[in-house]
Amino acid sequence: MNDHPAPPSLATPYRSHTCGQLRPVDVGVTARLAGWVHRRRDHGQLIFLDLRDRHGLTQVVIDATESPEAHERASLVRNEFVVMVEGTVAKRMAGKENLDLPTGEIELRATSVEILSEAKTPPFYINEPDAPVDEALRLKYRYLDIRREPMQRRLLLRSRLVRAIHEVHQDHGFIEVETPDLIKSTPEGARDFIVPSRLQPGTVYALPQSPQQLKQLLMVAGIDRYYQIARCFRDEDMRGDRQPEFTQLDLEMSFVDEATVMAFVETMAIEVSRSTVPDRPILQVPFPRFTYDEAIERYGTDKPDLRFGMELVDIRSALVDVADHPMSTGFAVFDTALAEGLSVKAIVAPGLAGASRREIDELVETARRFGARGLVHVAVDEDGVRSPIGKFVGDRRLKIIATEAGAGPGDLVLIVADTAAITADVLGRLRVHLGERLGLTDPDVLAYCWVHRFPMYQWDDEHRRWDATHNPFSGVLPEDLALLDTASGDLAVRSPGDPAGRARAMQYDLALNGWELGGGSVRIHRRDLLERSFALQGQSVDGMRGKFGAVLDAFEYGAPPHGGIALGIDRWAMILSRQTNIREVTAFPKTQSGTDLMLDAPSAPDPGQYAELGLRYVGLSEREVGPGSR
RNA sequence: GGACCCGUGGUGUAGCGGCCCAACAUGCCAGCCUGUCACGCUGGAGAUCGCCGGUUCGAAUCCGGUCGGGUCCGCCA
């Protein structure tokens, strides 16, 4: 309840105050400070030391006439030395205050200076937070990087975020339960990290990709409301927003439906955001909710960035409704698309009508990289419309297209004609690309939104079966229960046209500013539905036993209806810190190639370690020479 | 698995076939300096230009490979 408890005293034998603490009211007191030398300014008989700890910066003055011994010591001091200084807090001389510092009205007049620790010249600037530093250097000397103000600030924010998460969950009756890191492979799609077992030679543990199965078991165990800040491991290639080990807020609730889980998570996210970053406005409360279909239709993605508009517009009607060319637009790409029932959609880039040939070419190139075969553009200005396809379709139709797309003077309409999936994907990515380029994304705003009602299954043509799009335990929407069937009526005879393809899951993702924060679902807890769902996936319950044995067994003993969610703490902290890279909010991250430059991990094990495990490294070449390759 | 960008004194950059046994800033070292706060002034040290190979009369500069870092696609909820 108490949001602002009195700050605890951080006094120790080495310091009476922190370096950010002293104020004019302390003038006259004897204080002892300890910290790193941020900067030394040597004026001969007078030396200034800026002493820094994570709480702030205090100017220390050492006057040779007042304290010759301290002065002698101070002249030996260099940047990043750790020193302990004792002296009297004094008001600074009139006109000499430093208004940029909270401690800038006072200074410590040193009577003694003691060097606690010397320091080599650091490999990069610690006292200049904005100086660019090579990423590899930062990672190798991470302890120095973290010593810098920006990393300190971000780790503090992350700590506040996690603390707020704990508080909200504790206040809402959740029990924090730790789950093991040495478990059995959880087939969630990603590659497992494995740990060989010494006591059971020839077998391995897997590190959890998430505590998914364990939290469902906790529901069967009657824990009712569980949460955990859990470490998760996935052996996949890195990205700016992906590390091989990362942290999730994992939670699960019993006796809930979709609305209950979403309502709690939303409340929690709002409280946590407001207490972690009180100055950041939340764009919309309650959070907007989109069905998956709607999100794809309007934003081309299941994690829309709502900080700006530029929605995708279907412009097919602009291509067919013209009296003088009822059958043909005159432009083969459009005609083919219409004839084949493909998707033709547009986005409007505000103020980009004057884009140069080169800029347009870059946009086309970007669209191609995103998977488009081409990108049609129509520039709208005061005089009319301009487009390379004008000579095929005529100005009149260009104007209709522009109107349909919602473009006004100064705007640039960008059109993709392709399959629905490609059109949405390309325009969705292009939208994000342009939103950033045109500065439409307010870095302060927090735009949360929900996307739910995902398709339950995806057709796997190779195995002639329906694959669960998420977790195989995700439940189907009550109104779609009847769709869990095949056209043939026999679950063993499946085809792409089955009703199951239209079934939607009780599954929801939370997105923030265009990033996927996380997702979850209400699970199937009924044995008959589970069997049915598994059958559509070409699996029997017994066949799934190898992978989900414990959960299936547990479900025989009274499983409550339950559902939950998992949110990426790293991404959350990243966005709240206005960063675009998870490494910036991770104390000790790995490089893109999965190495730790500071610890020099991974490294070859001792031969003895292999021997104990009954392992021998044979190298990758032998694997590649195995049957069927070369 | 693939595409692209980067790699030059401690750090950040410039130089992009000869003018370079490499320039600038900062840092570092020494000396001077009693009111600075990116203190100032004077002087000095410090780089075989990531590594290997090739092209060339001549390579930091061009080409190939390799290593390291990053961005993206594939992969990944």
Domain tally, chain A: 2
CA A560 to C1' B69, whole Å: 50
CA A79 to C1' B16, whole Å: 37
CA distance A422 to A343: 9
CA closest to C1' of B13 belongs to A132
CA A133 to C1' B49, whole Å: 19
**Which residue has 């949360």 as its token pair?**
A448
pLDDT at A5 over 60: no
pLDDT at A326 over 60: no
CA distance A530 to A519: 21
CA distance A405 to A593: 43
Q: Please give the structure tokens belonging to residue A389.
A: 């396809």
Closest nt to residue A210, judged CA to C1': B77
List of A residues 569-588 with CB within 7 A of strand B? 581, 583
Whole-Å CA distances, A130 to A145, A275, A289, A518: 12, 27, 39, 32
Whole-number pLDDT of residue A626: 34
CA A249 to C1' B75, whole Å: 24
pLDDT band at A630 (very low <50, low <70, confident <90, very high): very low
Q: Among A57, A92, A117, give the residue marking a domain's end.
A: A117
Whole-number pLDDT of residue A407: 93
Task: Let me know the angle formed at the C-alpha of A12 by A6 and A17, rounded to the nearest 5 degrees.
Answer: 60
Strand partners, A568: A248
Closest nt to residue A568, judged CA to C1': B77
CA A53 to C1' B33, whole Å: 29
Q: Please give the structure tokens belonging to residue A460.
A: 């796997």
**Which residue has 């007078």 as its token pair?**
A46
Whole-number pLDDT of residue A330: 75
Own/partner contacts of A267-272, CB < 8 Å, gap of 24 or more, are A267/A168, A268/A165, A268/A168, A268/A169, A268/A172, A269/A448, A269/A510, A271/A164, A271/A168, A272/A161, A272/A164, A272/A165, A272/A168
Whole-number pLDDT of residue A323: 52
CA A37 to C1' B42, whole Å: 26
List of A residues 462-481 with CB within 7 A of strand B? 469-470
Residue A357 resides in a domain = yes
pLDDT band at A2 (very low <50, low <70, confident <90, very high): very low
More confident residue, A603 or A541: A603
Whole-number pLDDT of residue A321: 60
List of A residues 32-51 with CB within 7 A of strand B? 39, 41-46, 48, 50
For residues A527 and A555, is the Cβ–Cβ distance under 8 A? yes
Range of lowest pLDDT (A67-81, A365-379, A579-593): A365-379
For residues A476 and A483, is the Cβ–Cβ distance under 8 A? yes
Residue A73 resides in a domain = yes
CA distance A152 to A576: 14
Closest nt to residue A65, judged CA to C1': B34
Closest nt to residue A64, judged CA to C1': B34
Closest nt to residue A109, judged CA to C1': B35
List of A residues 234-273 with CB within 7 A of strand B? 234, 236-240, 242
For residues A433 and A439, is the Cβ–Cβ distance under 8 A? no
Interface confidence: ipTM more than 0.90: yes
Closest nt to residue A593, judged CA to C1': B69
Closest nt to residue A590, judged CA to C1': B69
CATH number for the domain spanning A383: value is 3.30.1360.30
For residues A73 and A87, is the Cβ–Cβ distance under 8 A? no
Q: What mean pLDDT is predicted for residues A371-376?
A: 88
Range of lowest pLDDT (A178-182, A223-227, A575-579, A619-623): A619-623
pLDDT band at A317 (very low <50, low <70, confident <90, very high): confident
A505-554 pLDDT, tens digit per residue, is: 999 999 999 999 999 999 999 888 888 888 888 887 777 777 788 888 89
Residue A130 resides in a domain = no
Whole-number pLDDT of residue A618: 81
Whole-Å CA distances, A216 to A81, A210, A233, A253, A567: 52, 12, 19, 9, 16
pLDDT at A416 over 70: yes
DSSP A292-347: HHHHHHHHSSSS--TTS----EE-HHHHH--TT-SS--S-HHHHHHHHTT-EEEEE
pLDDT band at A625 (very low <50, low <70, confident <90, very high): very low
CA A327 to C1' B76, whole Å: 44
Whole-number pLDDT of residue A621: 56
A171-202 pLDDT, tens digit per residue, is: 999 999 999 999 998 666 799 999 999 999 99
Q: What mean pLDDT is predicted for residues A338-364?
A: 88
Whole-number pLDDT of residue A629: 30
Closest nt to residue A139, judged CA to C1': B69
Q: What mean pLDDT is predicted for residues A480-506?
A: 88
pLDDT band at A596 (very low <50, low <70, confident <90, very high): very high
SS3 content of chain A, % helix, strand, coil (to 5): 30, 25, 45
C-beta neighbour count of A188 within 10 angstroms: 16
Query: What is the CB-side half-sphere exposure of residue A324 using CA atoms within 13 A?
Result: 6
Whole-number pLDDT of residue A446: 97
List of A residues 93-132 with CB within 7 A of strand B? 93, 96-98, 100-101, 104, 107, 121, 123-125, 131-132
Own/partner contacts of A45-50, CB < 8 Å, gap of 24 or more, are A45/A71, A47/A71, A47/A74, A47/A75, A49/A74, A49/A77, A49/A83, A49/A85, A49/A110, A49/A113
List of A residues 360-419 with CB within 7 A of strand B? 369
Closest nt to residue A48, judged CA to C1': B36
Closest nt to residue A469, judged CA to C1': B77
Work out if A189's Cβ lies within 7 angstroms of strand B.
yes
CA closest to C1' of B1 belongs to A237
Work out if A163's Cβ lies within 7 angstroms of strand B.
no
Residue A495 resides in a domain = no
Q: Among A100, A117, A134, give the residue marking a domain's end.
A: A117
pLDDT band at A622 (very low <50, low <70, confident <90, very high): very low
CA distance A152 to A143: 11
Q: Please give the structure tokens belonging to residue A580.
A: 């675009």
Whole-number pLDDT of residue A459: 85
CA A208 to C1' B22, whole Å: 53
pTM of the model: 0.93
pLDDT at A623 over 80: no
Closest nt to residue A520, judged CA to C1': B77
Alpha carbon A486 to its chain centroid, in Å, reads 38
Work out if A516's Cβ lies within 7 angstroms of strand B.
yes
Q: What mean pLDDT is predicted for residues A76-95?
A: 96
Residue A469 resides in a domain = no
Strand partners, A31: A87
CATH number for the domain spanning A99: value is 2.40.50.140
Q: What mean pLDDT is predicted for residues A292-312?
A: 95
pLDDT band at A255 (very low <50, low <70, confident <90, very high): very high
Residue A32 belongs to what H/E stretch?
Answer: strand A30-42
Closest nt to residue A212, judged CA to C1': B77
Q: What percent of chain A has pLDDT over 70?
A: 96
Residue A197 resides in a domain = no
Q: What mean pLDDT is predicted for residues A427-436?
A: 92
Q: What mean pLDDT is predicted for residues A592-600?
A: 94
More confident residue, A354 or A160: A160
Q: Among A440, A465, A495, give the residue marking a domain's end.
A: A440
Burial A85-109 (b: 16+ CB within 10 A, else e): bbbbbeebeeeeeeeeeebbbbbbb
In whole numbers, what is the pLDDT of chain A averaged over residues? Answer: 91
Work out if A79's Cβ lies within 7 angstroms of strand B.
yes
Whole-number pLDDT of residue A1: 39
Residue A321 resides in a domain = yes
Domain range for A35: 24-117
Nucleotides of B under 7 A from a protein CB: 1, 10-13, 26-29, 32-40, 68-77
CA A141 to C1' B22, whole Å: 29
Pick from A65, A39, A51: which is nearest to A113 by CA?
A51
CA A123 to C1' B48, whole Å: 22
CA A603 to C1' B53, whole Å: 29
Residue A397 resides in a domain = yes
pLDDT at A374 over 90: no
pLDDT band at A6 (very low <50, low <70, confident <90, very high): low
